[in-house]
Amino acid sequence: MVRQRASLVILEILGGLILVVLVLAGLLVFRLSSGPIELEMFRDDIEQGLTNSRNGRPVTVGDVFLEWSSEDKRVLVTGNDIKMLDSEGNVAAEAERARIVLSSSALVMGDVEVLGLDLVDGWINVAQADDGIWHIAGDPLPEIPVGEMPQNPSEWLERINAVLPQILVVLQEEKADISLERLSYEDFEMRVFASDRSPLFTLTESKGLLSVTEDGVDLSMSGSGVGAGLPAGLALDIDTSDLGSRMQASLAVAQWSLADLAARLGTDSEFLSGVPADITVEFDTSSAAGVEKIVVKANLAEG
């Protein structure tokens, strides 16, 4: 009888706590329906959380708000005027708006941990340093194996067979150092620079996504408005699976001259002059067998 009464008391307490939480949540949603709530007191903590996710390279946020999203039907943390700095303190990326996903378990413990960041409307620098390492938004990318530019189809196949398995290994190694579960950008201008800071090309209307799961890493990037002599559009997709042991990758270009492509591959381009095409190259790679399949698709226009 005593145990039964104690169980009832515990259930009543839990029920009361749940009711209080529901009431507070309802009041919060009602308050947010009339406008966002500024979270100035948490701005420094959120900036530090974002900085930690970049291994100490600073991130600044102009304003932080708690607001209700009628589209997602959930409460969101958003920020304005986000700036990412490189290791020398220069602004390497900037966004007008951002959606910030925080770890609820860390908040319960009194800490701020950023799990996701979605950036909208801004620009990002991609630059090669003097040591040959490429950086995006000031963050160093995994080192790409260097070598001579292939001159014919046979050399291109050898190069692909050498590089793709190495990229798969590098992605799996780098995964452990990525603290964010999701990072995306949309409506961005991507500016690509050589090691001497001279501009190479610019992608407009660019968007990208990096998603990290237990099974692997998903990476996608695309944009349009590429400079003269290059495709009108570009898209890259990389998807690793089976705990990082497999990789599917594709590179797509829009409205690129087949004659230009043939010349770059070292084949005869005489009969392809003036023929534009949408071209997609797909690769299947595994850590056990290397490159298993290569598929090339071309959608020809008039010419």
Total-model pTM? 0.77
Local confidence pLDDT in tens for the 303 residues of the chain: 555 565 655 665 665 555 554 444 444 444 445 556 677 887 888 899 889 888 889 999 998 887 766 665 556 788 899 999 998 899 999 999 998 887 766 666 667 778 888 999 999 999 988 878 888 898 888 776 666 666 666 776 777 777 788 777 777 777 777 788 889 999 999 998 888 888 888 888 999 998 988 888 898 999 886 665 667 788 889 898 887 788 898 988 887 666 666 555 555 555 555 556 678 888 898 888 888 888 888 776 655
Decide: 190 and 203 in contact? Cβ < 8 Å. yes
Residue 188: what pLDDT? 94
Long-range contacts of 270-274 (CB under 8 A, 24+ apart): 273/303, 274/303
d(CA 101, CA 175): 19
* Joined tokens for residue 23: 């009431």
* Joined tokens for residue 181: 């579960």
The domain spans of the chain are 1-34, 36-141, 146-179+214-303
- What type of residue sits at position 219? L
